[in-house]
Structure 1
Amino acid sequence: MTSLLKQAEETLEKAHAGINPRWYPRYHLAARAGWMNDPNGLVWFDGWYHAFYQHHPYSTKWGPMHWGHARSKDLVHWEHMPVALAPEGPADKDGCFSGSAVVDGDTLALIYTGHKFHGPADTDDNLYQVQCLATSRDGIHFERHGMVIDTPPGLHHFRDPKVWREGEFWYMVVGSRVGNTGQVRLYRSTNLQEWHDEGILAEAEQGMGYMWECPDFFALNGSRVLMFSPQGLVAEGYKNRNLFQSGYLLGEWQPGQPFSHDGQFIEMDSGHDFYAPQSFLSPDGRRIVIGWLDMWESPMPEQQDGWAGMLSLPREVSLGDNNRLMMKPIAEVTALRGSYFPVPAHCLNNQRVFVAAEAEAVELLLEWERGTSLAEQYGMVLGDGLRIYVDNQAQRLVLERNYPDFSLMGTRSIPLPEGSILSLRIFIDRSSVEVFVNEGEACLSSRIYPQPGQRDIMLFANSGAAALKEAGYWSLDK
């Protein structure tokens, strides 16, 4: 272990003992202490799922990026591993930025962005981002091989490589910025070390963002999905309400051919906090996505507790009948379930019904009967800070959070989906909520910060009646 990795480990061990656990997740993956952002290097290798992530071990603020590391047998129960990468070479002296991982025979390869300034760091003119390689035989200790792709001429923002194998070649997509236009660039290799420039895979049209971060490109049900996080989209009505977005373009592609798509960018998650998702394949062939359950420049009250940032639940993605991505929690999350507690009331009429006390880690199932639920608003509340409800006048499903002490207030919403039953799976952790609608038709994910005594779950119906086909919850724990 290098001196910088050893120093990071010693810092984390000491800091972890001192964190305040009030909002630290019970079943989501978060760093032991310090700062976490993008998931990186999601991969199955040598009998384990591995999740790497952007990490600053020395403070709860973003800083010189390291790669944190955890592994799991089931994507639910995580074991923290030593920090995998530290910014300690000429190619990444100012940060080991986001990237991906692939299995090459008996070797685990990490491909990541080396972040460096040639001169003062106060101007992008001195910024250079290159793609680097590190390999491991045991999945824990990594040998660094330095830069494998230099910054293209005239570029400065050139980051977040995602690598996959197709036929006899490795392919890589990288996000970039040319002026105020976001791009995804494509590369090809036979050995992960020498890469051939295949040109621009996709480029932003007017209004589609000045930088495309964290690109991911994969096949799904015969189509090709370009998943990425564009920066610079303008909010439009209910769309693009967060500082930055995460979503996808759907189209067709074969090696050596252009990526053909309709230009329709579709957001993947409609909550306040979901960014930089990355996908990978499970051994049984499922396409699974994990995102950062936060948003840039949003308040993060947990910083005062010694940690910051967490990852979403792993989500299985599929392509629906309407050619839209579906995302639902992976089947393995049911292993967290304890006892099931049914809600006895199945009709609410201008009333509130108690469901659970001091809910820190639960999965709530609500199946509302749309045809007989005519209340102006009906849904659930967690304390006085979170409401998830149907607004019948607006015909929308709304996630509303109200934590004025932390400047976290406001709503996110989606149009009510069609169908006679509105099925909601709501996962509540100590400082997060993830809502899955109708088995993955839509998702809304947000951070929440309940104070002591503000964790009781209630159901409600205002100005009318609402009917439930099924309601209940499971306690969740590791």
Structure 2
Amino acid sequence: MASGLTIDSRFRPEYHFTAARNWLNDPNGLLYSNGVYHLFYQHNPHSADWGNMSWGHATSADLVHWDEQPVAIGCDGEEAIFSGSAVVDVHNTSGFGAPGTSPLVAIYTSAYSAGSPLAGRQAQSLAYSTDDGATWLKYAGNPVLDRASADFRDPKVFWYDGGTESYWVMVAVEAVDREVLLYKSRDLVTWEYLSTFGPANATGGVWECPDLFELPVEGEPGTSKWVLVVNLNPGGIAGGSGGQYFLGEFDGVRFRSDSTVTEGMQENGARMGEYGWLDWGRDYYAAVSFSNAPDGRRLMIGWMNNWQYGALTPTGGWRGAMTLVREVTLVRRAGQAGLAGRVVLKQQPVDPFAGTCDVVCAAPQQLSGSYPLTVEGPADVLRIDAEFVPGTANEVGLVLREGTGERTVLAYNVAQGVLRLDRTASGETRFHEDFASVERVPVALEDGRLRLQVFLDRCSVEVFAQDGLATITDQIFPSDTSTSLTVFAEGEGAALVSLGVVR
């Protein structure tokens, strides 16, 4: 750890995980074991800049309150520890545990440095823990999967139960080739090639941090789809980093997409909006899911940053935060032209404000103009629940973190059917030319209504529209005094159905 490091906590979030010091990026090795959620992550133990990549470690009992642990898997003179995953080896298929025990096994990318005989390569390696994640030992036979490639990385491993045959499946990427590669193993050590998927849909940058899992379609017993997540940098829907997903079938060997857009595909053009996007903001990247989550829940978390400006955000002594954990499900969408009948991901946050009471509660009323809301006490860390009937108004929405010359605007344009988050005047923006931005996502009204749930933290806004059918995640860096909150309608004919503010 760097000595004499000055920590500036002006923008440190209250309920999003950050390392106490130094650099943080991709979530890694997400798993649940014996009542504890484990979050590993890309971490520089020595600096607030990227480098010395190792696996940091944090634990939680509730996915909201996290305790930072010692570095789990550290870099050395031969390898940096890049992204990957971890599993509970329930049947001790690896043999790393004592008889009758279930070791934890991490599968990570070894990025070999100049001091290694494999210098310049990226290959997949193992580490294991026999004390439920407290300490980790690198496997002596590393790497376990080497393609002699410079860009083969980010393994996500899961147990596939095919009925007649069951085994571990690894989903990794050849990043520059925009390909997802699948392998299988019975012991996590010896791997056999299965198939390749891609390139497809968004290919404007390298593919990274894949994930593959099956989900039922809500309300349709017996119907399920496999979800293939592929993070992308650059080339995201909002610019820079982003995450896309494909829906389809996986038969234990090959993933076949039924959501690939091919005809007339245009990068950075109109067809981009037809792809599946995890989030339409600029700051949701490297999102992957937890292994072994209880009750079959599919829980995801992402790095709340963007490689366009991630190294320059105005924090001191620490840099990088995680998003809220989100539970993802599949639903069949209705009502919006071109999307009716389409199965899509729905995302709902694990709520850090659960069980707390409203500090502001507005009665139903007609809206025309701006209505400031009075929030007693600190107003930089809030959850806002709002429901509108936009009616014949031009726009409805919220002005967040407003102060002298600063404001973040969340507005729904009725004619366009588009929700936008405008952070161009949100506070400190000049640290990078791409930061001052406006994010947009198509949102269909449901019975004429728009529902918004907004999570404000000291450096971020996470928006869940229509109960999580559309999301926008953006960082903001406002002044401490910019805490005003306003609800507004532009034009006549809108109504506020309900509004609650929770602190």
Q: What is the CA-CA distance between 1:77 and the residue it aligns to?
A: 1.0
Is residue 94 of structure 2 the alignment partner of residue 101 of structure 1? no
Aligned counterparts, 1:245-324, within 5 A: 245-264=242-261, 265-280=275-290, 281-298=292-309, 302-321=313-332, 322-324=342-344
Using a 3 Å threshold, how does the CA distance of structure 1 residues 302 and 19 change in structure 2: closer, same or farther? farther
1:112 and 1:240 map into 2 onto residues whose CA distance is: 28
Quick one: percent identity of the two aligned structures?
Answer: 33
C-alpha contact (below 8 Å) 2:399/2:487 kept by paired residues: yes
Partner in structure 2 of residue 212 of structure 1 = 207
Using a 3 Å threshold, how does the CA distance of structure 1 residues 393 and 207 change in structure 2: closer, same or farther? closer
Partner in structure 2 of residue 63 of structure 1 = 51
Q: Counterpart of 1:453 in 2: which secondary structure?
A: coil
Partner in structure 1 of residue 232 of structure 2 = 230
Q: TM-score, normalised by structure 1?
A: 0.87
CA RMSD, Structure 1 to Structure 2 (Å): 2.3
1:460 and 1:206 map into 2 onto residues whose CA distance is: 37
Q: Counterpart of 1:439 in 2: which secondary structure?
A: helix
C-alpha contact (below 8 Å) 1:211/1:232 kept by paired residues: yes
Measured against aligned partners, the alpha-carbon deviations of 1:65-97 in whole angstroms (never above 9, x if no partner) come to 11111000110111111110111264x2xx100
Instruction: Give 1 or 2: higher helix fraction.
Output: 1
Using a 3 Å threshold, how does the CA distance of structure 1 residues 416 and 46 change in structure 2: closer, same or farther? closer
2:355 and 2:186 map into 1 onto residues whose CA distance is: 41
Q: Counterpart of 2:306 in 1: which secondary structure?
A: coil
Partner in structure 2 of residue 4 of structure 1 = none
Partner in structure 2 of residue 174 of structure 1 = 172
Q: What is the CA-CA distance between 1:54 and the residue it aligns to?
A: 0.5
Gaps of 5+ in 1: 1-7, 234-238
Letter in 2 for 1:324: V
Partner in structure 2 of residue 421 of structure 1 = 449
1:300 and 1:355 map into 2 onto residues whose CA distance is: 36
Q: Counterpart of 1:284 in 2: which secondary structure?
A: helix
Q: What is the CA-CA distance between 1:336 and the residue it aligns to?
A: 6.5
Partner in structure 2 of residue 395 of structure 1 = 417
Letter in 1 for 2:490: N
Using a 3 Å threshold, how does the CA distance of structure 1 residues 318 and 58 change in structure 2: closer, same or farther? same
Letter in 1 for 2:231: S
Measured against aligned partners, the alpha-carbon deviations of 1:242-296 in whole angstroms (never above 9, x if no partner) come to 2132010110111134534341441110112110001125211110110111000
Using a 3 Å threshold, how does the CA distance of structure 1 residues 376 and 205 change in structure 2: closer, same or farther? closer
Q: What is the CA-CA distance between 1:324 and the residue it aligns to?
A: 0.5
312-321 or 257-266: bigger deviation: 257-266
Aligned counterparts, 1:125-204, within 5 A: 127-138=120-131, 139-146=133-140, 147-153=142-148, 155-167=149-161, 168-177=166-175, 181-200=177-196, 202-204=197-199
Is residue 387 of structure 2 the alignment partner of residue 367 of structure 1? yes
- Count matched residues: 445
1:207 and 1:381 map into 2 onto residues whose CA distance is: 32
2:138 and 2:253 map into 1 onto residues whose CA distance is: 31
75-84 or 208-217: bigger deviation: 208-217
Residue in structure 1 matching 2:12, options 24, 31, 36: 24
1:379 and 1:145 map into 2 onto residues whose CA distance is: 53
C-alpha contact (below 8 Å) 1:181/1:209 kept by paired residues: no
C-alpha contact (below 8 Å) 2:363/2:498 kept by paired residues: no
Using a 3 Å threshold, how does the CA distance of structure 1 residues 173 and 464 change in structure 2: closer, same or farther? same
C-alpha contact (below 8 Å) 1:182/1:209 kept by paired residues: no
Partner in structure 2 of residue 3 of structure 1 = none
Using a 3 Å threshold, how does the CA distance of structure 1 residues 440 and 97 change in structure 2: closer, same or farther? same
C-alpha contact (below 8 Å) 1:210/1:231 kept by paired residues: yes
Q: What is the CA-CA distance between 1:302 and the residue it aligns to?
A: 5.0
Using a 3 Å threshold, how does the CA distance of structure 1 residues 143 and 119 change in structure 2: closer, same or farther? closer
Letter in 1 for 2:211: D
C-alpha contact (below 8 Å) 2:287/2:302 kept by paired residues: yes
Q: What is the CA-CA distance between 1:224 and the residue it aligns to?
A: 0.7
1:232 and 1:20 map into 2 onto residues whose CA distance is: 29
